[in-house]
Structure 1
Amino acid sequence: MTALAIDITPEMEALLRAGAENRCGLCCIPGEVRKSWEALREAERLGYIRFLDITRPWVTDEGRRAVGLPSELEASRAALRAALPKRKPLVPSRDDDPRTDFDYRSYRACGYVCILAVKQPDYRSEPETLRIGRTLKSEPQFLGARNSIILPETEGRFVLALVPHWLARIGGLSTHPLPIDETDLEWSDDERALWDRLRAVCFSVNSRIRTAGRKVQRAKMRYGETA
C-alpha cells in the first residue's frame, strides 16, 4: 500500500487523487468547491493544490507525491509511451558486424589482414602475449597489443585477429584458412563447426579490408559471407 503524507486526511486524499486522474489536473468540479472548501484550503496551505481561480483547484506535483502518485510530467510520459505504436523489428535485421567502414579503411591504410589461428598450450607464468599457430603443434607465433588486434569474434581455442600483412607472411599465418583435417581427433564436432563459422568471418573481414575506401564498390555482402 502506498504511504501517505502524515497530514493527509481521507477527504484531502480523495481530492488529490481526483486531481491526479483528471486530464486538466482539477480536483473537483466548480459546484463541489464550497462543499470541500475546508479540505481544499488546508491542501492549498500545505502546497498540495493551487487555485487557478475560485472555482478551479488544481493539484500540484507536491500533492501528487503526497498520495504516492507520479508527477504530471512522469504521468504524461507514461501515457505517451502507452499511446505510441510498438516499433516493428527491422527487416532485414541490423548488421551484426561490430566494425564500421571507417575501421576497414583504417585497417587497409595500416596494411592489416585478418587471420584465423589456433591457440597453442602456453605454460608461461603470467604471459603478456598470446601463443598461436596454424595448428596445435606448428611453429608458434606470439600476438600482443603491439602487433595485433584480437577481434571480438574470438572464441574457444581459436583466435581471430588483425595483424600486419608482413607478420602473417613470415609467420605462415594464412588469411584464407583451410578446413580442419577430418581425421584429426583433437577437435570435437562443435569446434569444427566453430572453425567453419570463423573461417567465413575471416574471409568477410579480409574482403571488406580490400574494398574499403574504393569509389566504386560491388554490392556489400552480408557480414560473415564469403566474398
Structure 2
Amino acid sequence: MKSMTSIRIGNVYVYDTDAFSQQEKAFCDKMYSVIYFADFFCKNSISKVIRPLNLFLTDNKDENGKRFEWGIKIWVDVEKLKNTPDKDFPKEAILAVKQSLIDIAPMHDWTAENIELNFQKVLETNLQGQWVVTKNITHNETKFQLIMQYDGNKIITNLTDYMQFMMKIKAPKQKAILVPVSLKGSIAAGILVPSMVTDFSFKGNILTLQIGYRQNKKWKVNFGNSITLTDI
C-alpha cells in the first residue's frame, strides 16, 4: 500500500473492560454498520475512479492492559484522488461516518474531541467544498425538482441536516413553490445523504421518493392556493 494514505477518522477509548464486554455486541454492530454504509456509498459512487475506501477497526491495549482503543481508519489512494473530480468524492459518506461515530460516543468514554479529521489538503478541499444535488421530473405538466445542498460553511454533525431538503413544485398556470420535505423517522438506516435518493416519481397525486434500493417514502401532493405534502 505504498501509494495509499491512512486517514484516522476517530477513536474510542474504553477504560472499563467489564462494561465494554457487556456492550461489545451492540458497539460492534454500530461500528460495522458505519463500515457497511461507507462501503455501500463508495461502491455506488467512485469505484470506477478510485479503489473504494477501506475501513477497519483497530484494537490496541496500553501497557497495563486496562485501556482498549477502537477506531476507524480509511486508506485512500491520494495520487488517484488528486485527479478525481470533486463531484465524485464521497464527502457525504465521510460526514455520515463522523455522525455515526458521534452517535456511538455515549456508550463509552469518548467525546467529540476524540474525533479527528486530519485530511491532507486535497481531501480538505473536497470535504469543505459545496455540493448541490438536484433531480427533476415532469408529469402531466407538473414539474418537480428535488433540491439538497451543503453550503460548505461547516462540517455537518447534526443528523437532521441530512433528513431535510426542499422540493420545488410547479403546477400548470401556477408559480413554482418550494415545499419543505423531511425524512426524519422514516429511514431505517437513520442516515440520509443526497446521493441515497436514487429516484422519484409522481403518479395520481402521489409523490414517491426512492432511497437507496430498498426503501421509499410517499406523500400526497395537495394542490390549492398553496401546494402541500401529506405523509402517507
Shorter chain as normaliser: what TM range?
under 0.3
TM-score (normalised: structure 2): 0.22
Higher helix share: 1
Higher strand share: 2
TM-score (normalised: structure 1): 0.22
Greater Rg, structure 1 or structure 2? 1
